[in-house]
Structure 1
């Protein structure tokens, strides 16, 4: 009973030892093979390194004695520029977002001035105009009445001038009294004042006695571009109606939204560099013209 188990253990131990011996041999053989491959690769690499051409020195800046030195070729290639160091006040850079707006000094709103209806339009949105160019025509009974009063006043003035001339001649020949001559002179002054009043009234309406009766021509007072048009032929309008807006696009404002923490760094006259979103590579120079109180 005791010999049986002992024989079994010895047999088992022998098998295990053989297996271990084979495992070590396999490992040694594998290691020897790997060493042979490594030796071959090292030999090939060493042979390749021995035949490689000598390396060329790189043209880069180097630190020598506390200073950076470089060649003229590197300076040209890198585009380096030199200048004199100057002492100037520090100006912090602030990046903000803004919107384009019209400069009020170069914007004109053209109204109809009187009640009537639009007879014809001459300019559309986007058209370029010069000072005095006609934009539209408005027919108005008020303007026609004012122009007619000019013609009537002018006719009465002509009659008064003839009457004064005649009274002066009669007075010189003692064929009339001085009172009649004075009355004629007074009437002449009155007719002149009436004509001037009629002309002023017509001018307020935007017309004159030489233009077409009852037709007001809307004209641009400035040079620029039509940016708004609110009238069409046949449209009825009142005296306070704005028919056109003209702006000179060569003079614009850019309204910038500055954070409160940056307000202390922004002052009138500071240079500004504008970068349009539609043209990222464009840089437009500008100047701060106004800083709002709120």
Structure 2
């Protein structure tokens, strides 16, 4: 039966083959490996849960560490990107950040650490500086800006006014009748007659005089000394002089007539009596004036009254003697001011020996007051002549006011530094000024020399901008850099102002074009931050300030093809003959782009054997740092100029060097 079944199902006799889905029994090693992998998976899950638990448990601590590691670095990076470093004394020096070692950069000019500021922040100007603007040499010439030095000058304040000639009241005399009587005769019967001292003017009959002489003679006759002296005094009170009394005693004749004499020499300016007239005691008979000295009374504006002192000399001119000048002395300054005219009156005593000045004349009065005699200049001059060693530090700082090296106000760079140079104490604004002060002490100490006795520090009138609230002067601190400085000035004397404070001797002030500089900062407030080195401007780390000047010049639209001006050509003419053609062909400085001659005589340097002309000495370093770019610009500027001239100049220079 089994055979029947096997024949009926032929698949039963076929062998059974292994399929992929069929599991074979694992060996011992496979079982061990499977166990290890199972344990590894479970341990991994356990470790993950442990880490999650630890993170949750110490989340606050981890967050604190994260802030410590990340936030300071982020803040420092943000701060570095938003700040820059600059030199307050030299605005052309700007660095974008710290040095590679993390140190604060130093100014390459003065050596002081640079100050930190935010980019876009308004520039921090030194103390006393109201505004700062910088112009390229080309723009300075276009604006006509010219500078002059503030120097000591013997200024004289002139006050011109008018007055009138009057009598000298101390030389006026009124002849008064001391007795009643009658005028028997007139010796001077005309007004304005000239009389001498003691000259008889009139003769008066008086009963009172007659009785007085009688008493005198009776006293003499009876030898009564007391009565004689009393009668003599009575007659003197009546106007009888000693000579007439003695004459009456000698003649023993009772006189009844009184001789009236002039008490001084002069002119009879008033006659109030006629011959035969009856007069009463106390009546004014004559007025006599001595015109050898007269008064001139003049009105002066109240603002000028402090400039006048008693005893001061003045000059006067009258139309009747216009070719003569009369000198006088201020004798009285009236202690009141006219409320309507706001003037005060002065009285001048003038000698008039030739009687050229007559009362009633109008006079042109000139009052000249040396400014050095006014306060506070007189005190400042006296203080400047004191020995610096005898002054305290505070007094010396107040007297010196400015650093002799930088010209900055003491205290603008921190506490002033005291140094001793040539056995003299001197204050400077910072430590970097000590070296140049010692090396060139003669030049800088000359700025601290006391002024002449009759001189004061002065600036031209056109250099002063009067805003109404303050007076501003623009000082050139560096080539093309002008600082608006508030100054305190004295009264204008001619075309100059005396300086009380705000400037130092030797400061270069803008005398011409100062109004344009002021208008630049007022009409365009951003111009005050447009100086090279101002916030937001080019950095001197990657390019020099002179390159920034060239960029600024291009931005202002200056024409690079503009021909050289006459002033610039005159500077080029000072070059040797063999260099003029090359400099004229080059025309512009390859560093700043400014016209050659705009900053003085061009500077000639040799780069890779080729002559190059620069606008100033400060461009040489930049030109030598980038010789290829400099030469490329020079060749482009010269264009198709005769190369033989350049080769000849180079050969000549090499020949000189070899020689």
SS at match of 1:94: strand
* 2:320 alignment partner, SS class: coil
Equivalence for 1:260: 302
CA shift for structure 1 position 108: 1.7
Q: Alignment partner for residue 96 of structure 1, among 149, 152, 161?
A: 161
Q: What is aligned with 2:649?
A: none
The structure where helix makes up a greater share of residues is: 1
Which 4+ residue blocks in structure 1 deviate beyond 4 angstroms?
Answer: none
Q: Secondary structure at the match of 2:165?
A: strand
Give me the whole-angstrom Cα distance separating, in 1, the residues matched to 2:299 and 2:281. 38
Match of residue 145 from structure 1: 211
1:113 shift after superposition: 1.2
TM-score (norm 2): 0.26
Q: Which residue of 2 aligns with 1:126?
A: 192
Q: Where does residue 202 of structure 1 map in the other structure?
A: 235
Aligned position for 1:193: 226
- SS of 1:233's equivalent in the other structure is coil
Query: What is the SS of the residue equivalent to 1:203?
Result: helix
Q: Is the 8 A contact 1:271 1:286 kept in 2?
A: yes
Structure 2, unmatched stretches of 5+, are 1-150, 249-253, 337-659
Q: Which moved more, 1:144-153 or 1:275-284?
A: 275-284
TM-score with structure 1 setting the length? 0.56
Alignment of 1:34-49 (within 5 A): none
Give the conservation status (yes or no) of the 8 Å contact 1:112–1:138: no
Indicate whether 1:235 and 2:277 are aligned. Answer: yes
Measure, in 1, the Cα distance between the counterparts of 2:311 and 2:237: 41
Q: Deviations over 1:10-34 (max 9, x none)?
A: xxxxxxxxxxxxxxxxxxxxxxxxx
For the residues of structure 2 that align with 1:108 and 1:252, how far apart are their CA atoms?
14
Q: Which has the higher contact order (CA 8 A, sep 6+)?
A: 1
Give the Cα–Cα distance (whole angstroms) in 2 for the partners of residues 98 and 193 of structure 1: 56
Query: What are the residue-to-residue correspondences of 1:4-19 with 2, within 5 Å?
Result: none
Q: Which has the higher strand share?
A: 2
Q: Which runs of 5+ in 1 are unaligned?
A: 1-84, 158-190
Partner of 2:261: 219
Aligned residues: 176
The superposition leaves residues 108-162 of structure 1 with CA deviations (integer Å, 9 ceiling, x where unpaired) of 21111111121111112222222211011111111111011101111111xxxxx
Q: In structure 1, how many angstroms separate the alpha carbons of the residues matched to 2:270 and 2:152?
A: 50
Distance 1:231 1:86, change over 3 A: farther
Measure the CA separation in 1 of the matches of 2:179 and 2:311. 43
User: Structure 1: how far apart are the matches of 2:303 and 2:319?
Assistant: 25
Deviation at 1:229, TM superposition (A): 1.3
Per-residue deviation, 1:86: 8.7
CA RMSD of aligned residues (A): 2.1
Distance 1:280 1:86, change over 3 A: farther
Provide the rounded CA distance (Å) in 1 between the counterparts of 2:282 and 2:290: 23
**TM-aligned CA distance change 1:86 to 1:122, over 3 Å:** farther
